[in-house]
């Protein structure tokens, strides 16, 4: 669990330059609380956020990032987990809602996400959670 609570690298998935974007707020908090690891950003559109480039594909990331923080619509999460697995990301914090707490369709998405996570050995926090904070390391 050290990799989850003391990551050296984090990818935040679902960011945009929009000031109301929840993933953007996660990135802002990482900087505000002085996270010293590597911060990578994935969004639908390329751009710059806090001096860092926003990439549009997990496939373009290096392998072995410690933690993925996912804030995208529920229907996108299984595919995102599949891509994370291919990149050897072993922890995912799924803050997205719309799973079993929402509908039968959401429950099926959650089962699919769990199946994919198990296939790749990805441990999950969530879905529909508020994430975690380690105030000692940002």
pLDDT of res. 77: 98
Kindly state whether residue 134 falls inside one of the protein's structural domains.
no
Kindly state whether residue 23 falls inside one of the protein's structural domains.
yes
d(CA 10, CA 39): 5
pLDDT digits (tens, 9 = 90+) for 19-61: 999 999 999 999 998 899 999 999 999 999 999 999 999 999 9
Q: What is the CATH number of the domain that holds 24?
A: 3.40.50.720
Kindly state whether residue 18 falls inside one of the protein's structural domains.
yes
Beta sheet of 67-70, edge-to-edge order: 47-49, 52-55, 38-42, 9-13, 67-70, 91-94, 123-125
pTM of the predicted structure, to 2 decimals: 0.93
Kindly state whether residue 136 falls inside one of the protein's structural domains.
no
Percentage of the chain beyond pLDDT 90 is 83
pLDDT above 80 (res 137) = no
pLDDT of res. 64: 95
Kindly state whether residue 138 falls inside one of the protein's structural domains.
no
Kindly state whether residue 105 falls inside one of the protein's structural domains.
yes
Domain count, the chain: 1
pLDDT digits (tens, 9 = 90+) for 93-115: 999 999 989 899 999 999 999 99
pLDDT of res. 131: 80
* DSSP structural state of residue 67: E
pLDDT of res. 1: 84
Kindly state whether residue 135 falls inside one of the protein's structural domains.
no
Q: Which domain range does residue 65 map to?
A: 2-125
Kindly state whether residue 28 falls inside one of the protein's structural domains.
yes
DSSP 72-83: S-GGGHHHHHHH
pLDDT of res. 14: 98
- What does the mean pLDDT of the chain come to? 93
């Amino acid at each position: 669990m050290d990799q989850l609570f003391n990551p050296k690298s984090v990818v935040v998935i679902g960011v945009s330059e929009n000031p109301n974007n929840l993933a953007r707020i996660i990135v802002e908090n990482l900087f505000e609380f002085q996270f010293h690891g590597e911060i990578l950003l994935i969004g639908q559109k390329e751009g710059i956020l806090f001096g860092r480039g926003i990439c549009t594909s997990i496939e373009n990331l290096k392998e072995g990032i410690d933690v993925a923080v996912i804030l995208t619509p529920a229907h996108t999460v299984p595919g995102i987990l599949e891509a994370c697995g291919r990149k050897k990301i072993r922890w995912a914090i799924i803050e997205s809602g719309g799973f079993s707490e929402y509908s039968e369709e959401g429950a099926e998405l959650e089962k699919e996400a769990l199946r994919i996570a198990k296939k790749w050995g990805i441990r999950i926090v969530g879905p529909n959670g508020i994430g975690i904070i380690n105030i000692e390391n940002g």
